[in-house]
Each structure stands twice: as structure tokens, then as C-alpha cells.
């Protein structure tokens, strides 16, 4: 009798353990199925988002190709507030664009003409010295540091391996960890290469190099209608105040000549600035596409409290392409792609109407 009771107890324990194991197994399988379903759904959403983004990239490329076409007969020209005709190509200065071929409302497209950047492959030694001096404080710059940077730049871009006085050539760079070989050619492959030149990584710390510089095209001068803040901060003759006024001016109308620049920039500074600026455009562009981020009312109120001129677009990185547009009958040449490219400063002019230097 006792034996039968023990047997029944053992059977009950086995049944209970079996039920527990089956429950655990079913729960694990259900969790795995839910995870697989969630992964599949997320992958589907990601695929659709990617397709939507790439569609916007294609439409932005088409926008640049259309720029090379003549306007249709009877197409009205866009005018400024003062009734002056605006140059369509100047809208590629980083403003959020409304494309001819519509894209999803939750995506933002910005295009930067490289005529608004400083071309490292077309800058001569004298201009590089001026640029370095201005960036390091102008009259307050340390002459010794300026010369060290200038000699290092010269050694990096000349065609020989002879180091200048206090310069840096192969021996210096090979002894670094890790070591590398200097360019010894005036044509840089990328703007990031500037950080490999002795001393420039420290001197340009915090500068968004892709926003300020380019290595593409043949342009030698900066078009202020297209210039990024980062580029304008590097050239002599411009202060933060005049930079913001230039941006405010071009938000209203085009800058067509030095006389109009003279309405903003004082004469003494204008003399410094004049050799650096022109009215050229280029066929090299940096294109950004990214999802729109809407700030909440609380976030907006906080930013308004902290900064009168806050940037309502908080996005700092997006899908980026650097491309060359050859016309409206050929697809563009893509030089560089970065899914997480760093955007230039996209804020509107940080100056109140009452403080404008022009009227």
C-alpha cells in the first residue's frame, strides 16, 4: 500500500515537472516567435525608410540636374522682396529645400555648393598663411606657431622629401604611432587629410572640416551667397557679427557685387576680405537627406529661453553624398558617401532686425 502511494507520488511529481518544462518550452518558443515577428516588422520598416530616403536622394540629384536646364518659356522668375531677380543656383546654400519632385514630408533635403567652401587644393602658400593667422587670432596670433604650421603645410604639399626649417617630412611622420607617409603632392584626397599635417589637428580642433573646406573643383574664391558659417569664420575680414548679417542679407536677396558686401562689411575689413570672395558657382555639391525632427512645445520653450536665435532643426548628422553634376543628360558622379555625415550649421541668421548693419 505504501509502495503504491509512493508510485503515485512519483508519477504526480513527474507530471508536474513535465508540465513545468513544457510551459517553459512553450514560453521560450512564444518569446522567440514574438522576437522574430518584431525583428521582421522592424526590418520591414527600416527597409521602407531606407527606400524612402534613397528616393529623396535621387530626387535631390535630379534637382541639381534640372538646374542645368533652361527655364520653360513663360516660367516666372523668382523675385526678392525688393523685386530683384534671384539666382536659382544660390538656393544650394544649405537651406531646407522644396524639390520640384516631391518627397516624403518627414524628410529634409539640404544641398551645399562647394563654391561656398575653401578649396584646399587651390590655396597658395600666402593665402594659407593669412588663413592660419586669422584663425589663430589675427594680430594676437603667435607668429612662431603660424610659421610652424605654414612650414608643415608646405612640406606636406610640396613634391620633394626635403624638410624645411622646423618642418616635417617622412622621418617625422614615420616615427609617429602609427607612422605614415606624407602626401608630398599639392592635391589632397580629402579634407580630413589636413589633420595628418603636423600641428593642424590641434589648431583646427572643433572645426567641422567638411563644412569649411573642399578638395574638389577648381574654385579659388568663396561665394558669400553660398558660404557656410564654418568657411566664413576662417577667412579674414569677417567677424561673427558681419557673418550673421551676410546670412540675413542673402535670406532676403542675392549678393551681386562688392558694393553690396560693402553695405555690411566695414571698409578696412572689406580690403582684407576682397581677395577671398567672388560670385562663382560650381558643379560640386554636398547633399544631405535626413528625417525631420519636430521639437516639443516644452523643448521649444526651453531653447527660446536659453537662446533667442536657437536652431529649430536639432539634427546634426544625416545621409551625405558629395557629387559632381555634369549636366542634365548624364547622371552625377558620386565621389563620397557617408550615412552619418556631419551637417554644417543650419541655423538662420542669428541677428535681430534692429541690429542689422544694412537696411
Helical (H) or strand (E) element with 220: none
Ordered alpha helix ranges (H), the chain: 2-66, 125-135, 143-157, 170-174, 200-203, 209-212, 229-232, 240-252, 258-262, 267-273, 297-306
Q: Are 56 and 104 in contact (CB under 8 A)?
A: yes
pLDDT in tens, 278-287: 999 999 999 9
Matching residue, cell 534692429 = 354
pLDDT in tens, 215-245: 999 999 999 999 999 999 999 999 999 999 9
As a whole number, the mean pLDDT across the chain is 92
Task: Give the mean pLDDT of 270-290.
Answer: 96
Q: Quick check: 81 pLDDT over 60?
A: yes
Q: Quick check: 99 pLDDT over 80?
A: yes
**pLDDT of amino acid 1:** 53
Q: What cell was used for 238?
A: 569677417
Q: What cell was used for 208?
A: 567641422
Task: Give the mean pLDDT of 39-61.
Answer: 89
Cα distance between residue 7 and residue 45, in whole Å: 56
Residue 46 CB burial class (10 angstroms; 0-12, 13-18, ≥19): exposed
Per-residue exposure over 239-278, b if at least 16 CB sit within 10 Å of its own CB, e if not: eeebbbbbbbbbeebbbeeeebbeebbeeeebebbeebbe
Q: Quick check: 274 pLDDT over 70?
A: yes
Task: Give the mean pLDDT of 191-209.
Answer: 95
**Domains in the chain: boundaries:** 1-123+220-359
**pLDDT of amino acid 31:** 74
At 42, the pLDDT band (50, 70, 90 cuts) reads confident
Which residues make Cβ contacts (< 8 Å) with residue 85, sequence separation at least 6? 77, 78, 79
**Percent of the chain having pLDDT more than 90?**
78
Q: Quick check: 37 pLDDT over 80?
A: no
At 19, the pLDDT band (50, 70, 90 cuts) reads confident
Q: Quick check: 134 pLDDT over 70?
A: yes
Q: Quick check: 34 pLDDT over 90?
A: no
Q: What cell was used for 18?
A: 513535465
The pTM of this model reads 0.88
Angle between helices 125-135 and 143-157 (to 10 degrees): 140
Query: Which tops the pLDDT comparison, 3 or 340?
Result: 340
**pLDDT of amino acid 105:** 94
At 28, the pLDDT band (50, 70, 90 cuts) reads confident
Task: Give the mean pLDDT of 68-92.
Answer: 87
**Percent of the chain having pLDDT more than 70?**
97
Amino acid at each position: 500500500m505504501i509502495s503504491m502511494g509512493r508510485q503515485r507520488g512519483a508519477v504526480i511529481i513527474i507530471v508536474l515537472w513535465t508540465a513545468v518544462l513544457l510551459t517553459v518550452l512553450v514560453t521560450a518558443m512564444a518569446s522567440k516567435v514574438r522576437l522574430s515577428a518584431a525583428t521582421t516588422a522592424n526590418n520591414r520598416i527600416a527597409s521602407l525608410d531606407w527606400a524612402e530616403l534613397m528616393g529623396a536622394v535621387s530626387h535631390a540629384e535630379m534637382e541639381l540636374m534640372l538646374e542645368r536646364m533652361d527655364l520653360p518659356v513663360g516660367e516666372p522668375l523668382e523675385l526678392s522682396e525688393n523685386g530683384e531677380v534671384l539666382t536659382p543656383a544660390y538656393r544650394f546654400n544649405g537651406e531646407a529645400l522644396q524639390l520640384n519632385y516631391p518627397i516624403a514630408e518627414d524628410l529634409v533635403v539640404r544641398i551645399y555648393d562647394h563654391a561656398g567652401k575653401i578649396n584646399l587644393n587651390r590655396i597658395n602658400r600666402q593665402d594659407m598663411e593669412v588663413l592660419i593667422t586669422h584663425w589663430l587670432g589675427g594680430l594676437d596670433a603667435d607668429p612662431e606657431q603660424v610659421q610652424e604650421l605654414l612650414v608643415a603645410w608646405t612640406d606636406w604639399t610640396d613634391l620633394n622629401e626635403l624638410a624645411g626649417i622646423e618642418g616635417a617630412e617622412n622621418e617625422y611622420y614615420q616615427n609617429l604611432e602609427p607612422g605614415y607617409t606624407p602626401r608630398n603632392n599639392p592635391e589632397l584626397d580629402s579634407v580630413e587629410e589636413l589633420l595628418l599635417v603636423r600641428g593642424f589637428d590641434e589648431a583646427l580642433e572643433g572645426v567641422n572640416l567638411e563644412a569649411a573646406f573642399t578638395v574638389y573643383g577648381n574654385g579659388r574664391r568663396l561665394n558669400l551667397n553660398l558660404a557656410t558659417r564654418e568657411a566664413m569664420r576662417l577667412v579674414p575680414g569677417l567677424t561673427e557679427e558681419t557673418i550673421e548679417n551676410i546670412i540675413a542679407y542673402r535670406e532676403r536677396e542675392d549678393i551681386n557685387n562688392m558694393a553690396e558686401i560693402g553695405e555690411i562689411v566695414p571698409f578696412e575689413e572689406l580690403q582684407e576680405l576682397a581677395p577671398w570672395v567672388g560670385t562663382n558657382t560650381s558643379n560640386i555639391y554636398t547633399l544631405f537627406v535626413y528625417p525631420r525632427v519636430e521639437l516639443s512645445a516644452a523643448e521649444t520653450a526651453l531653447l527660446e529661453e536659453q537662446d533667442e536665435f536657437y536652431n529649430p532643426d536639432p539634427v546634426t548628422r544625416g545621409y551625405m553624398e558629395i557629387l559632381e553634376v555634369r549636366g542634365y543628360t548624364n547622371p552625377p558622379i558620386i565621389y563620397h558617401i557617408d550615412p552619418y555625415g556631419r551637417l554644417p550649421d543650419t541655423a538662420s541668421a542669428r541677428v535681430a532686425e534692429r541690429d542689422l548693419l544694412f537696411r
